[in-house]
Amino acid sequence: MLDLVLQQAGVSEPGFARKTVKWAITCTEDGQYTGVVSLGEGKGRGFDACPNLSQPELIGGSESRAHFLVESLPTVTLYFDEKLEDKEREKFFAKHSWFVDLLRLAAQDAPYLEAVANLLADAETLALIQTDLKQAKAKFTESAVVIVDGINPLNRDDWRDWWRGFRASLRPPKVSGGQLMRCVLTGEVIEPVATNPKIKGLAGVGGLSMGDVLAGFDKAAFQSYGLEQAANAAMAEATATAYAETLNRLIADKSVKLGNTLATYWFTGQGDIQVEDEVMAWFVEPPEQTAGAAERHAHALLTAIRTGQRADLANARFVLLLLSGAAGRVMVREVMQGSFEELVTHTEAWFRDLSIVARDGKSCAQDPKFLAVAGSLVRDLKDLPSPWLQQLWRAAITGGLIAAATLAQAVTRTRIDIIQDTPASHARMALMKAYLIRNRGDNNMKPHMNPDHPHPAYHCGRAIALFARLQRAALGDVGAGVVQRYYTAASQTPGLILGRLAANAKNHLGKLDGGLAWWYENQLAGIMSNIGDFVPRTLTLEEQSLFALGYYQQLAALNAGKQATSEPESTPSN
pLDDT tens, position by position, 402-419: 999 999 999 999 999 988
Kindly report the CA angle at 353 between 352 and 359, in degrees rounded to 5? 90
Do 52 and 83 share a domain, yes or no?
yes
Task: Determine, yes or no, domain membership for 484.
Answer: yes
Q: How many helices (H) and strands (E) does the chain have?
A: 19, 12
Q: What is the DSSP string of 135-154?
A: HTT--TT-EEEEEETTB-GG
Do 99 and 212 share a domain, yes or no?
no
Name beta bridge partners: 107. none
Do 263 and 395 share a domain, yes or no?
yes
Q: Domain range for residue 468?
A: 453-574
Do 112 and 29 share a domain, yes or no?
yes
The separation between CA 548 and the C-alpha centre of its own chain, rounded to angstroms, equals 29
State the total domains in the chain: 4
Three-state secondary structure call for residue 65? coil
User: Which pLDDT does position 571 carry in this prediction?
Assistant: 33
Do 48 and 124 share a domain, yes or no?
yes
Q: How far apart are CA 47 and CA 493, in angstroms?
A: 62
The separation between CA 375 and the C-alpha centre of its own chain, rounded to angstroms, equals 12
Do 20 and 144 share a domain, yes or no?
yes
Do 54 and 110 share a domain, yes or no?
yes
Task: Determine, yes or no, domain membership for 422.
Answer: no
Q: Which residues contact 376 (CB under 8 A, 6 or more apart)?
A: 410, 413, 425, 427, 428, 431
pLDDT tens, position by position, 186-204: 888 988 888 888 999 999 8
Q: Model's pTM, two decimal places? A: 0.78
Do 375 and 472 share a domain, yes or no?
no
pLDDT tens, position by position, 110-152: 999 999 999 999 999 999 999 999 999 999 999 999 999 999 9
Element (H, E) at 559: helix 541-559
Task: Determine, yes or no, domain membership for 95.
Answer: yes
User: Which pLDDT does position 311 carry in this prediction?
Assistant: 85
Do 564 and 485 share a domain, yes or no?
yes
What are the phi and psi torsion angles at 19 (to 5°)? -135, 150
Task: Determine, yes or no, domain membership for 291.
Answer: yes
Distances (CA, A) of 185 to 197, 240, 244: 15, 9, 13
Do 393 and 471 share a domain, yes or no?
no
Q: How far apart are CA 548 and CA 559, in angstroms?
A: 17
* Domain closes at, from 235, 253, 271: 253
Three-state secondary structure call for residue 322? strand
pLDDT grade, residue 14 (50/70/90)? confident
CB crowding 450-474: b at 16 or more within 10 Å, else e = beebebbbbbbbbbbbbbbbbbbbb
